[in-house]
């Protein structure tokens, strides 16, 4: 009876929640384009004097906190009847670090560069931690407020809004860094990010949540009990084990990611403002990915979208190592944006669909933790291999091998969407 009421509540508010989730996420993701973790932020860290091993960590900083924390909070989230109160609190702390970084760059960069470097590095990490505390609550909220047949479309619209903002962010980045090169420009870009993220927060407060009573037969687990049962949960789901291996190997994209824009700039001899052009091209590629994700994801599910992403990365990795002209790098960053966003849509949709309903928060937390660990390993490999542009080819080769192996594990995976459509 309660489940039927919750289903009716979802359907009654689905259009409203669809628009709010898509708009809020678009503002958040688009806002981060001003300090793109794959294009702009690595250059900021390098300019502040950060070593190569730290530059290699930049694309995974937010992901690290985001993906590490859920395994420590899933047991609590399993008990929640409503998710919005927690999400509204963590949402504030998810956004504030970028304001702190902006002020540090504008005020302290000329007098205390090591401190500013630490603040800039810790900002996305702390933001990710705040988000990670409640990540599975947000995932459960999505499952509760958006029906399965509209999720791919919602994510595609979410990323399309982000892309529209990202194209503008690329133009703003180019203009700001041309007018205010160095730390003042980087501080202004951080302020732009903070402003967009706060606008998204205002929208997020408008989500209409329906109640989700906890399972009657479930007794509350402590953190220790929940962690101890994880191996058994994973062993009991063959499909989850297979998916975890594929997701871990797919983190190989983070081997090439930190140095792709740096390599392009050094190869072409371009200035910092060139990063704005790369952000625009990356965003246009992402916009195409959203159309593909909306159509393919809605019809056949997240697995097909993820396969498309893997194929794109398999083309991108060797091509980027061989490229030497502006036109080639423009095309590469178009493909990079496409591969990145089909990866995002595919992994989110498939992760939500593949986990069993019972103890879903814990399963989602395990997926997040495996992704965190594999991303960290990939960034470690990246930092050890990179010593300059002459080693970029090895980064590309390692990325190609790991993505190819990931695809080999994903292809035989039973697709949960097709099972649902066939009635099995």
Distance separating alpha carbons of residues 208 and 84, to the nearest angstrom: 9
List % helix, strand, coil for the chain (3-state, nearest 5): 85, 0, 15
Pick 235 or 267 by higher pLDDT.
Answer: 267
Q: Is 216 a member of any domain?
A: no
Q: Is 419 a member of any domain?
A: no
CB neighbourhood size of 391 (10 A): 14
| Tens-place pLDDT, residues 141-156 | 888 888 877 877 888 7
Nearest to 344 by CA among 80, 63, 122: 63
Nearest to 127 by CA among 171, 69, 195: 69
The answer to whether the CB of 291 falls within 8 A of the CB of 156 is: yes
CB neighbours of 321 closer than 8 A, spacing ≥ 6?
392, 393, 395, 396, 397
The domain of 331 spans 2-211+223-413
Given CA atoms 391, 393, 398, 399 in this order, what sign does their dihedral have? Answer: positive
Of 237-241, 284-288, 331-335, 348-352, the range with the highest mean pLDDT is 331-335
Q: Is 418 a member of any domain?
A: no
- pLDDT reported for residue 2: 44
Q: Is 57 a member of any domain?
A: yes
- pLDDT reported for residue 232: 86
- pLDDT reported for residue 251: 93
Nearest to 94 by CA among 66, 61, 54: 66
Distance separating alpha carbons of residues 256 and 177, to the nearest angstrom: 25
| Tens-place pLDDT, residues 245-273 | 999 999 999 999 888 988 998 899 888 78
Collapsing DSSP to helix, strand or coil, 127 comes out as helix
- pLDDT reported for residue 311: 96
Given CA atoms 22, 25, 27, 30 in this order, what sign does their dihedral have? Answer: negative
Joined tokens for residue 11: 């359907």
pLDDT band at 378 (very low <50, low <70, confident <90, very high): very high
% of the chain with per-residue pLDDT over 90: 42
The counts of H helices and E strands in the chain are 20, 0
- pLDDT reported for residue 158: 87
Joined tokens for residue 188: 């202004």
- pLDDT reported for residue 5: 47
| Tens-place pLDDT, residues 91-124 | 999 999 999 999 999 999 888 999 999 999 999 9
- pLDDT reported for residue 360: 77
Q: Is 357 a member of any domain?
A: yes
- pLDDT reported for residue 216: 45
Q: Is 88 a member of any domain?
A: yes
Q: Is 267 exposed, middle or buried (0-12, 13-18, 19+ CB in 10 A)?
A: middle
| Tens-place pLDDT, residues 304-342 | 899 999 999 999 999 999 998 999 999 999 999 999 989
> DSSP of 190-253, one letter per residue?
HHHHHHHHHHHHHHHTT--PPP-PPPTTPPPPPHHHHHHHHHHHHHT-HHHHHHHHHHHHHTTH
Q: What are phi and psi of 384, to 5 degrees?
A: -75, -30
| Tens-place pLDDT, residues 8-51 | 555 677 889 999 999 999 999 999 999 988 888 988 998 899 88
pLDDT at 6 over 60: no
pLDDT at 243 over 60: yes
The overall average pLDDT reported for the chain is 86
Distance separating alpha carbons of residues 411 and 418, to the nearest angstrom: 14
- pLDDT reported for residue 411: 92
% of the chain with per-residue pLDDT over 70: 93
Q: Which of 132-146, 171-185, 210-224, 409-423 has the lowest mean pLDDT?
A: 210-224
Between CA 364 and CA 374, with CA 369 as vertex, the angle to 5 degrees is: 130
pLDDT band at 277 (very low <50, low <70, confident <90, very high): confident
Instruction: Give me the half-sphere count of Cα atoms (radius 13 Å) on the Cβ side of residue 292.
Output: 24
Residue located via tokens 């050890």: 384
CB neighbourhood size of 197 (10 A): 24
Q: Is 88 exposed, middle or buried (0-12, 13-18, 19+ CB in 10 A)?
A: middle
pLDDT at 365 over 50: yes
Q: Is 424 a member of any domain?
A: no
Nearest to 59 by CA among 321, 253, 336, 331: 253
For 156, 236, 397, the CA distances from 293, given in Å and listed in that order, are 6, 30, 27
Number of independent structural domains in the chain: 1
Given CA atoms 323, 261, 345, 243 in this order, what sign does their dihedral have? Answer: positive
Q: Give the CATH number, domain containing residue 138.
A: 1.20.1250.20
- pLDDT reported for residue 88: 95
- pLDDT reported for residue 341: 87
Q: Is 421 a member of any domain?
A: no
Distance separating alpha carbons of residues 269 and 51, to the nearest angstrom: 21
């Amino acid at each position: 009876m309660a489940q039927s009421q919750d289903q009716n509540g979802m359907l009654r508010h689905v259009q409203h929640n669809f628009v709010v989730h898509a708009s809020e996420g678009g503002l958040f993701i688009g806002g981060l384009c001003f300090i793109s973790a794959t294009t702009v932020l690595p250059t900021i860290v390098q300019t502040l004097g950060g070593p190569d091993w730290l530059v290699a960590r930049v694309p995974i900083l937010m992901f690290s906190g985001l993906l590490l924390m859920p395994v420590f909070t899933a047991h609590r989230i399993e008990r929640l009847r409503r998710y919005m109160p927690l999400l509204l609190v963590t949402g504030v702390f998810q956004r504030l670090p970028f304001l702190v970084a902006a002020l540090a760059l504008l005020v302290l960069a000329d007098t205390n560069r090591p401190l500013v470097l630490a603040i800039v590095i810790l900002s996305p990490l702390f933001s990710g931690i705040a988000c990670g505390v409640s990540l599975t609550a947000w995932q459960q909220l999505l499952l509760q407020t958006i029906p399965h047949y509209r999720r791919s479309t919602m994510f595609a619209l979410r990323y399309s809004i982000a892309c529209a903002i990202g194209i503008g962010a690329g133009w703003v980045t180019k203009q700001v860094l041309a007018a205010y090169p160095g730390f003042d420009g980087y501080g202004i870009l951080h302020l732009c990010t903070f402003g967009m993220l706060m606008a998204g927060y205002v929208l997020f407060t408008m989500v209409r949540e329906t109640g989700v009573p906890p399972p009657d037969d479930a007794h509350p687990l402590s953190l220790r009990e929940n962690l101890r049962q994880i191996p058994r949960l994973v062993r009991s789901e063959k499909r989850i084990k297979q998916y975890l291996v594929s997701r871990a190997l797919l983190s190989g994209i983070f081997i090439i990611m930190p140095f792709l824009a740096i390599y392009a700039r050094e190869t072409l001899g371009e200035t910092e403002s060139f990063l704005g052009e790369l952000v625009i091209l990356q965003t246009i590629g992402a916009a195409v990915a959203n159309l593909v994700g909306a159509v393919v994801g809605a019809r056949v599910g997240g697995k097909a979208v993820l396969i498309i992403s893997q194929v794109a990365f398999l083309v991108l990795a060797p091509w980027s190592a061989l490229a030497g002209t502006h036109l080639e790098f423009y095309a590469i960053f178009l493909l990079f944006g496409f591969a990145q966003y089909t990866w995002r849509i595919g992994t989110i949709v498939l992760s939500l669909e593949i986990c069993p309903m019972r103890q879903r928060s814990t399963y989602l937390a395990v997926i997040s933790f495996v992704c965190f660990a594999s991303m960290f390993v990939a960034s470690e490999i990246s930092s050890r291999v990179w010593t300059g542009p002459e080693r970029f080819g090895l980064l590309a080769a390692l990325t190609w091998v790991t993505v190819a192996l990931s695809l080999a594990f994903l292809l035989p995976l039973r697709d949960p969407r097709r099972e649902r459509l066939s009635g099995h």
